[in-house]
Amino acid sequence: MPYFYLHQRHDGAMLLDEEGADYMDLNEAFEDAIQSARELMAARILQGYAPDDSEFHIADDNGSIVALLSFRDAISDTPRKVGLKRHH
């Protein structure tokens, strides 16, 4: 199974996912990122704060960023996955 890391960019800082997780594929990792973003935004709203411009940078086992998810996109009807080309 592929291994992916959900790094979070928040307030200009990158919070690295040191553990990562096994996923069937990138789409499953992206779906998990959507759910996680929604949960993080819900907690933020319950504390009285507005959603911010955080995003997940999804990295593969080699450390390459393979997709981005804006937290704001996670609450749309059709969340937009931004895939990045790998540079060799």
**What is the mean predicted confidence (pLDDT) over 62-71?**
94
pTM of the model: 0.84
CA 30 to chain centre: 7
pLDDT score of 70 more than 70: yes
Instruction: Report residue 73's pLDDT band, with 50, 70 and 90 as the boundaries.
Output: confident
Supply the DSSP symbol for 19.
S
Tell me what pLDDT residue 88 has: 35
Taking the CA atoms of 21, 23, 26 and 32 in sequence, report the sign of the dihedral they define. Answer: negative
**What is the mean predicted confidence (pLDDT) over 60-71?**
94
The 10s digit of each residue's pLDDT in 6-65 is: 999 998 899 999 999 999 999 999 999 999 999 999 999 999 998 888 999 999 999 999
79 vs 25: which has the higher pLDDT: 25
CB 55 within 8 A of CB 71: yes
